């Protein structure tokens, strides 16, 4: 089979994967706190050159050459992926439990059946027991969770609820002009953003969760706001059009390679006959 067919097939698969990423970004364009994903496309030859010194055989030998599939030298493939953690637009809402984080690299901490997770989605609510949860029903954790192991609870009868820029909850005492200070949100600031892994439900898993500490003076909590996704719709649509065109080009190249190969086979067989 001709090498061009391999390269075209690899290029088409790569573009299909890129299309999946673009589609997921567009599908979450209106998801609160969602961050845009992107991929990096490279080729086999570049990867080989970066790793050849680690091969078990000396470079430039006949034995070492078996590690380099020369028919895939320039075959494009996904070599890395990353998440753009830049801020989205802060949109005002009428819910006093809607919170947005106005700085990059900060997250709320929530408790899920799979363990502690991080999220930028601050559209919170209160369940029947008075516990503050996400819209998905996951408990939102206080700043002292790792020592107290307690949930964040508020009195459902409280009508005046204020949350400071550092995440402290202050409620009005019924039939009184006084205010009571309640729990404080855990505002996590991971040291290494590369360790964050998306896990669905707008949640992130962080492998070093035991090292997380609450940013007591973050000054980033905005009450009555939600952070919209940072997906650039125009940019994503442009990438989608480009990807579809590339898929069509690779498909045409594959068809051409196959037609040429079939013609060669037919002509050779005819000559022998």
Share above pLDDT 90 across residues of the chain, in percent, rounded to a whole number: 44
Q: What values do phi and psi take at 147, rounded to 5?
A: -105, -40
Confidence of residue 11 (pLDDT cuts 50, 70, 90): confident
Per-residue confidence (pLDDT) for residue 54, from 0 to 100: 60
Q: What are phi and psi of 7, to 5 degrees?
A: -60, -40
Could you give the number of structural domains in the chain? 2
Q: What's the confidence (pLDDT) of residue 64?
A: 52
pLDDT value at 71 more than 50 = no
Instruction: Look up the domain containing 266 and give its range.
Output: 3-85+231-272
Note whether 247 and 217 are same-domain residues: no
Query: What percent of the chain lies above the pLDDT cut of 70?
Result: 76
User: What is residue 188's three-state secondary structure?
Assistant: strand
| Mean pLDDT of the 32-36 span | 95
> Within this chain, do residues 151 and 76 fall inside the same structural domain, yes or no?
no
**What is the average per-residue pLDDT within 236-248?**
91
Residues 94 and 209 in one domain: yes
User: Does the pTM of the predicted model rise above 0.75?
Assistant: yes
Q: Which two tokens stand for residue 140?
A: 């939102």
Task: Tell me the pLDDT tens digit for each residue of 182-207.
Answer: 789 999 999 888 889 998 889 999 98
Higher local confidence (pLDDT), 259 or 170: 170
Element (H, E) at 26: helix 3-27
For residue 142, what is the DSSP state? B
Indicate whether 7 pLDDT > 60: yes
Among candidates 239, 15, 221, which has minimal Cα distance to 107?
221
For 196, the 3-state DSSP assignment is: strand
195 and 253 co-located in one domain: no
pLDDT tier for residue 81 given thresholds of 50, 70 and 90? confident
Task: State mean pLDDT over 221-225.
Answer: 95
Residues 106 and 222 in one domain: yes
To the nearest whole number, what is the mean pLDDT of the chain?
82
Among candidates 79, 112, 132, 102, which has minimal Cα distance to 204? 112
Residue 33, helix vs strand vs coil? coil
Query: Residues 168, 50: one domain?
Result: no
**What CA–CA distances, in Å, run from 149 to 145, 158, 182?**
5, 24, 16
As a whole number, mean pLDDT of residues 215-232 equals: 93
> Rounded distance, CA 115 to CA 39, Å?
28
Whole-angstrom distance, CA of residue 92 vs CA of residue 69 = 55
Residue 199 and residue 135 share a domain? yes
Q: Whose CA is closest to 132, among 152, 161, 155, 111?
A: 152
Residues 94, 138 within the same domain: yes
Question: What is the Cα–Cα distance from 117 to 172, expressed in whole angstroms?
Answer: 31
CB of 8 closer than 8 Å to CB of 257: yes
d(CA 177, CA 168) in angstroms, rounded, equals: 19
**Sorting pLDDT into bands at 50, 70 and 90, what band is 103?**
very high
Least confident piece of the model among 55-59, 79-83, 257-261? 55-59
The confidence score (pLDDT) of residue 39 equals 87
Please indicate, yes or no, whether residues 167 and 248 belong to a single structural domain of this protein: no
* Higher-scoring residue by pLDDT: 155, 115: 115
Give the total residue count for the chain.
273
DSSP assignments along 53-112, one per residue: GGSSS-TTSTTGGGG--GGGTT-EEEEEEEE------EEE-S-TTBEEE-STT-EEEEEE
Over residues 216-231, mean pLDDT: 93
Range 117-132 average pLDDT? 92
Q: Above 80 in pLDDT, residue 58? A: no
Is residue 271 over pLDDT 90? no
> Which residues are registered as beta bridge partners of 133?
125, 139
Tokens of 171: 């409620």
- 203 and 265 in one domain? no
Same domain, 56 and 96: no
Which residue would you say has higher pLDDT here, 263 or 123? 123
How many CB atoms are closer than 10 A to CB 186?
24
Question: How many Å separate Cα 185 from the centre of its chain?
Answer: 23
Burial status of residue 175 (CB atoms within 10 A of its CB: 0-12, 13-18, 19 or more): exposed
pLDDT for position 177: 60
Of 194, 211, 227, the domain-final residue: 227
Closest listed residue to residue 124, CA positions, set 161, 174, 178: 161
More confident: 47 or 244: 244
Lowest mean pLDDT among 17-31, 91-105, 186-200, 258-272: 258-272
Do 81 and 99 sit in the same domain of this protein?
A: no
């Amino acid at each position: 089979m001709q090498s061009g067919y391999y390269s075209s097939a690899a290029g088409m698969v790569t573009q299909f994967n890129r299309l999946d990423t673009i589609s997921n970004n567009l599908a979450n364009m209106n998801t609160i706190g969602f961050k845009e994903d992107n991929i990096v496309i490279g080729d086999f030859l570049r990867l080989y050159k970066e790793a050849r010194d680690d091969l078990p055989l000396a470079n430039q030998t006949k034995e070492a050459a078996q590690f380099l599939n020369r028919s895939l030298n320039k075959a494009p493939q996904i070599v890395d992926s990353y998440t753009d953690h830049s801020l989205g637009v802060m949109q005002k809402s009428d819910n006093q439990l809607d919170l947005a984080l106005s700085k990059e690299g900060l997250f709320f901490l929530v408790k899920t059946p799979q363990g502690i997770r991080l999220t930028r989605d601050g559209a919170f609510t209160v369940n029947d027991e008075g516990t503050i949860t996400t819209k998905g029903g996951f408990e939102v954790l206080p700043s002292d969770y790792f020592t107290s192991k307690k949930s964040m609870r508020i009195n459902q009868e409280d009508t005046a609820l204020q949350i400071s820029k550092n995440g402290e909850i202050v409620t009005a005492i019924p039939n009184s002009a006084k205010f009571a200070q309640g729990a404080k949100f855990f505002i996590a600031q991971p040291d290494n953003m590369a360790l964050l892994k998306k896990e669905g439900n707008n949640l992130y898993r962080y492998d070093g969760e035991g090292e997380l500490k609450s940013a007591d003076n973050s000054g980033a909590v905005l009450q009555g706001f939600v952070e919209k996704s940072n997906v650039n719709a125009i940019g994503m649509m442009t990438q989608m059009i480009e990807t579809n065109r590339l898929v069509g080009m690779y498909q045409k190249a594959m068809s051409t390679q196959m037609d040429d190969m079939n013609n060669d086979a037919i002509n050779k067989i005819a000559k022998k006959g």
